[in-house]
Structure 1
Amino acid sequence: MSRTLLVTGGAGFVGSALIKSLLTEYPDAAIVSLDNYFTGTPENHVNDPRVSYIDGSTVDIAKIWAGQGLTAPELVFHMGEYSRIVQSFEDHDLTWDFNLLGTKEVVKFSAGHGAKLIYAGSSSKFGNDGQDENLNPYAWTKAKNIEYIRNYSNWYGLDYAITYFYNVYGPGQITTGKYATVIGIFEHQYLAGEPLTVVSPGTQTRDFTHIDDIVRGLLLVARKGSGDGYLLGAGHEWPLLDVAKMFGCEYQLVPVRRGERTRGQADITKAMELGWRPERKLDEYIAEFVAAHPR
């Protein structure tokens, strides 16, 4: 292999989908996943000899890399962080360690090896004219990482591009447990014959992005992007109650959850300048799901 690519969080939802596409896009590359398996699972591993999976923390990335005797990576896709809003109040220490300590080491590691860093920022940064970045530990740590990456590049030199995900859904999403995604939860409840639980008041909006569109965006930003501001969303905000109604079954409102924002919609202008367009639509995806699983 003539090059090495690193994906942190490579055994997770987005990371595993990304690795599948990297194998096609970079046929001459060896791909390394570094994952602590907090939400990632061995079931997400891609069975290909060009992919290596390392169980470890991003805090120890430099030591782990040296211990494995690996060559310098050309690209570092940093997906391996804590990524839930409400739960970050309960998991404050984990959020701090994964997102601040871990990312500090990934940034230093990338710059030290001359690798381009592709960072998965959080759309929570943009809500309420930027004020929502202080709503919860997760959003705050993600916003601070953006500041740190930009400053580190100015201080020490770092080739980077920052993407922002908007409510990723699709095959491989987490459907159960406290780290499940919204669409994953709805799908699980639908299949179980249960009413869908919609957080009150139901009028709050989200922009939902299919995993295929996210991966295409990451690959494009890796090849052509530079700096901050690549928002990857569908550019459409859906009220959560309307999303639940698409499944055509009963639903019920549940209490408001701490730290959640009221609106979310991506400004995809900068990503579109690279030639990216979202291709998958949420309503069509749900219609296909319901048609494939009639109740």
Structure 2
Amino acid sequence: MSSSQANPRFSPGPQLGTVIVTGGCGFVGSHLVDALLVLSPKLSIHVFDINTTRNRVDHSTFPDVIYHQVDVSDRAAIFSLFESIKPVTVFHAASPTALDGSSAIFERVTLQGARNMVAASLAVGTVKAFIYTSSSSVVHDNVSDLVGADETWPLLDWPQQKRQYTLMKARAEAEILALNRNNETGMLTTSIRPSTVFGERDYTQLGKIVETIRQGKGKYQMGDGKNLYSFTYVGNTVDGHVLAAQKLLEAHGKPPLADDIKVEGEAFNITNDDDWLFWEYQRTVAALIGLPVKKEDIKVLPVWLALFIASLVGWVTWVVTLGKGKPVMSWDAIRYVTIHRTLKCEKAKKRLGYKPRVGMQEGLARATRWFNENDRK
């Protein structure tokens, strides 16, 4: 439960009741379970995941955390579990990773899975608060610079949004928020949009950076290195989820609050509120895992050259694998590490009472310590 140390002492607030956390054995989801247990160690939590063998809490310490191996796209199984559990609060964090899925998987798991979770919540009639883990990329085309984005920016759909992971996230979010109070049960909904989350157990983003550095590639930089990023330590990310749930439960059964203070039916950016240069972030990781990069050793690869190499690698991969393989270097990945990508979290600070409790340097220290310790096991 490493993330529990990063979470604040939550105010008591309303009782969450019986809780469901989907994706609760994944990166963000497992930290969310930890945070909920900080809030209430005896909380009844039901974790849904397709792989329940990883990132589990100790059953002897937390006997009220129950794991269910289930696919959120399995409508019948989800409905059956909801009928048995009768949850009050639902955190829907299950998602394929952004870089490793097909269009079919994103549509089946991200969009249809969200529809199943909402439908089951409404059908059982006990759910008061539904919190969706969205993505900050739902307002971004993932190609151009994103500077100072806030929640007034519109969701992007096709053809502006061509990235299937983000497209399905945006559509799921729109449907979930549209159902706020628009149902017979009075269920309230909200969406949390974390920005580039990192932390312990993060094999998707930070884990790949650590692997790259250990391969001796930490000295390489694409572009001029001046691109700023909004990152979020995972403990801060899950704080935002818990705070949102508390606000929804406080509002349930009451008249809606004014538009400028309400949480229900709204989306919230969550960041560390401390933008960093992307490549300084990577070199800080390198130093923390014991492989520091000297300034004079940095090798800069111009963006145009990196894109040319990626095109060549992509073509060779396509030919060799008959169109079935994925190149080790892609245009998307290069764009991702060379663009500006910053977001504002003022709305979360004002309405949720959110405050990043763990700073960037401390968050990276905790995360890299975890990687170093676990790699020695």
What TM-score bracket applies, with the shorter chain setting the length? 0.7 to 0.9
Choose from 148, 151, 159 the match for 2:178: 151
Choose from 89, 111, 116 the match for 2:122: 111
CA contact (8 A) 1:32 1:52 kept: yes
Choose from 93, 97, 111 the match for 2:108: 97
Choose from 207, 213, 218 the match for 1:196: 218
TM-score w.r.t. the length of structure 1 is 0.82
Task: Kindly indicate which of the two structures has a greater share of residues assigned to strand.
Answer: 1
User: Within 2, Cα distance between the matches of 1:289 and 1:169?
Assistant: 8
Cα deviations across residues 202-246 of structure 1 (Å, max 9, x unaligned)?
A: 544431111111121111111014221221101233332222232
Aligned amino acid, residue 23 of structure 1: L
Aligned residues: 279
Greater shift, 51-60 or 193-202, is seen at 193-202
Greater relative contact order (CA < 8 Å, ≥ 6 in sequence) = 2
Greater shift, 232-241 or 11-20, is seen at 232-241
User: Within 2, Cα distance between the matches of 1:290 and 1:79?
Assistant: 24
Choose from 41, 53, 66 the match for 1:52: 66
Mapping for residues 56-135 of structure 1, pairs under 5 Å: 56-61=70-75, 63-64=77-78, 66=80, 70-84=84-98, 86-88=99-101, 91-112=102-123, 113-115=125-127, 116-127=129-140, 128=146, 130=154, 134-135=161-162
CA contact (8 A) 2:82 2:120 kept: no
Cα deviations across residues 65-116 of structure 1 (Å, max 9, x unaligned)?
A: 52686231011000001231x444xx11111111111111011112223311
Q: Identity over aligned residues, as a percent?
A: 23
Aligned amino acid, residue 331 of structure 2: R
The answer on 1:241 being equivalent to 2:261 is no
Greater shift, 275-284 or 103-112, is seen at 275-284
Mapping for residues 206-221 of structure 1, pairs under 5 Å: 206-221=229-244
- For structure 1, the 5+ residue unaligned runs are 175-179
User: Within 2, Cα distance between the matches of 1:67 and 1:161?
Assistant: 22
SS at match of 2:342: coil
Mapping for residues 163-202 of structure 1, pairs under 5 Å: 163-174=192-203, 180-181=204-205, 183-190=206-213, 192=214, 194-196=216-218, 200-201=222-223, 202=225
TM-score w.r.t. the length of structure 2 is 0.65
Aligned amino acid, residue 98 of structure 1: V
RMSD: 3.0
Q: Residue 267 of structure 1 aligns with which residue? A: 344
SS at match of 1:118: strand
Judged with a 3 Å threshold, the aligned counterparts in structure 2 of structure 1 residues 24 and 284 are, in CA distance, closer, same or farther, namely closer
Cα deviations across residues 250-293 of structure 1 (Å, max 9, x unaligned)?
A: 66656453275533223111211222111222234446777997
TM-fit CA distance, 1:27: 4.0
Greater shift, 244-253 or 215-224, is seen at 244-253
User: Within 2, Cα distance between the matches of 1:229 and 1:270?
Assistant: 9
Larger Rg: 2
Judged with a 3 Å threshold, the aligned counterparts in structure 2 of structure 1 residues 56 and 200 are, in CA distance, closer, same or farther, namely same
Q: Residue 177 of structure 1 aligns with which residue? A: none
User: Within 2, Cα distance between the matches of 1:289 and 1:66?
Assistant: 37
User: Within 2, Cα distance between the matches of 1:267 and 1:214?
Assistant: 14
User: Within 2, Cα distance between the matches of 1:288 and 1:69?
Assistant: 39
The answer on 1:229 being equivalent to 2:256 is no
SS at match of 1:119: strand
Judged with a 3 Å threshold, the aligned counterparts in structure 2 of structure 1 residues 94 and 279 are, in CA distance, closer, same or farther, namely same
CA contact (8 A) 2:274 2:360 kept: no
Q: Residue 258 of structure 1 aligns with which residue? A: 332
